[in-house]
């Protein structure tokens, strides 16, 4: 009996040592991601056209200002516009999509209108109008964890009606978000669907996981478009050449600085290497893949490990300073699997009209403080006129960022 207790105590002690080592190596920087914000950012930032330019708590370059457009949203994620100009935002944890009308154009949402509820982690949103001159004939596409469905969109009453499921998606494992977008002309009837892996790093068994899929607008002819993508949560198209750019979250538990997270330019039939390879075709040490990596598509831009890149959007020309034209803003949601937290900011990636990359610099910082994280940026929606919106699923808000400087 005494020997049994010695074995049990020894086993518990060994397990405790391994657990402590695992925590110290991988999770001691998890606090900002899990803990409540140390302050309510809506009380630190103004609302509407009374915009913050002080740098407290959030710091932006000269000439830009930030304010709260909508608050008390829970965990807002994807942002798009409806056919009549209202922002639409998905709120996965509450199973709904909301509209944020601003009828008096004062820079603050007039109300939060539930467009549809009772959904299974709704995330991706996109709209399509069969006739641009008749917004009442437009459709709203919503990607839930288990499906993509299309609705008739009632722009007058801000409701999604007449649901029609068009695509079944896997609804198990890790990475529940599904993101969708229509490709630009001349492939505007082609719908892209991003589905993450069901594991951290494994030989994926799911046919429609760890890849970007493509289908017709009615859901037919679903197939793989770009495999080897662990979790490309957000995509966007260049308005110059129509190429699809996507963020990619690298695997966990390789330490603070590996693997890099990625920005990829997505092409039909290219394999982007997960799980065998990451970054510039670097073999993952857990896979015997040195030779195989030579056949994969390397990352286009490597960014710091565990930054958790999510929303990305290109800067248009109208209403924006010329030095920002063609650049790419990316939301770094922020790390949890790192001893020292990183991310929690919006970064400007400098690319020219040909997509050539020349460097990165911070655009909005200040969410990460010594006492915790005030918020975690998610999606970015940019429009002409020097204005953009950013969702924050930790603070439960949508921010409005505007350029208030002088244009040449």
Longest Cα separation, the chain: 85
> Is pLDDT of 311 > 90?
yes
Q: Is the confidence at residue 23, as pLDDT, over 60?
A: no
| Amino acid 328: pLDDT | 98
Distance separating alpha carbons of residues 176 and 122, to the nearest angstrom = 9
- Per residue in 105-135, pLDDT tens? 999 999 999 999 999 999 999 999 977 666 6
**Each residue of 153-190: pLDDT tens digit?**
998 899 999 999 999 999 988 999 999 999 999 999 99
Residue 269: per-residue pLDDT: 97
The predicted structure's pLDDT at residue 5: 59
Pairwise pLDDT comparison (44 vs 55), residue with the higher score:
44
Confidence of residue 30 (pLDDT cuts 50, 70, 90): very high
Residue 56's pLDDT is: 78
pLDDT of residue 39: 96
CA of 366: how far to CAs of 56, 129, 353, in Å?
Answer: 8, 39, 30
Note the pLDDT of residue 9: 62
Closest residue by Cα to residue 336 from 36, 31, 19: 31
d(CA 222, CA 386): 37
Domains in the chain with CATH codes: 2-403 (2.120.10.30)
Residue showing tokens 């565990």: 306
């Amino acid at each position: 009996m005494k020997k049994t207790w010695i074995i049990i105590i020894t086993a518990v002690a060994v397990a405790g040592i391994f657990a402590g080592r695992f925590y110290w190596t991988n999770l001691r920087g998890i606090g900002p991601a899990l803990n409540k914000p140390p302050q309510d950012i809506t009380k630190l930032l103004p609302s509407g056209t009374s915009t913050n330019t002080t740098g407290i708590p959030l710091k932006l370059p000269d000439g830009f200002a930030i304010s709260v457009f909508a608050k008390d949203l829970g965990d807002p994620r994807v942002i798009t516009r409806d056919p009549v100009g209202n922002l639409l935002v998905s709120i996965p944890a509450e199973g709904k999509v909301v509209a944020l009308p601003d009828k008096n154009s004062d820079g603050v949402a007039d109300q939060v209108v539930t467009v549809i509820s009772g959904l299974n982690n709704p995330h991706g949103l996109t709209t399509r109008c069969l006739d641009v001159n008749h917004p009442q004939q437009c459709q709203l596409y919503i990607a839930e964890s288990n499906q993509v469905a299309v609705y008739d969109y009632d722009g007058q009453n801000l409701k999604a009606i007449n649901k029609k499921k068009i695509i079944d998606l896997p609804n198990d494992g890790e990475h529940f978000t599904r993101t969708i977008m229509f490709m630009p002309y001349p492939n505007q009837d082609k719908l892209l669907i991003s589905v993450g892996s069901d594991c951290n790093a494994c030989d994926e068994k799911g046919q429609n996981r760890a890849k970007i899929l493509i289908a017709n607008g009615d859901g037919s002819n679903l197939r793989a478009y770009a495999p080897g993508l662990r979790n490309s949560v957000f995509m966007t198209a260049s308005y110059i050449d129509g190429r699809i750019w996507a963020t990619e979250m690298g695997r966990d538990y390789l330490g603070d600085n590996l693997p890099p997270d990625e920005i990829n330019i997505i092409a039909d039939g290219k394999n982007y290497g997960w799980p065998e390879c990451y970054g510039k075709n670097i073999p993952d040490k857990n896979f015997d893949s040195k030779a195989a990596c030579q056949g994969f598509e390397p990352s286009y831009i490597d960014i710091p490990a565990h930054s958790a890149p999510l929303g990305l959007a290109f800067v248009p020309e109208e209403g924006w300073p010329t030095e920002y034209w063609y650049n790419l803003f990316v939301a770094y949601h922020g790390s949890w699997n790192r001893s020292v937290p990183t991310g929690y900011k919006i970064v400007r990636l400098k690319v020219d009209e040909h997509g050539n990359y020349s460097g990165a610099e911070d655009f909005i910082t200040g969410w990460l403080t010594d006492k915790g994280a005030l918020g975690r940026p998610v999606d970015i929606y940019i429009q002409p006129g020097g204005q953009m919106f950013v969702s924050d699923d930790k603070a439960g808000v949508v921010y409005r960022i505007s350029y208030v400087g002088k244009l040449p």
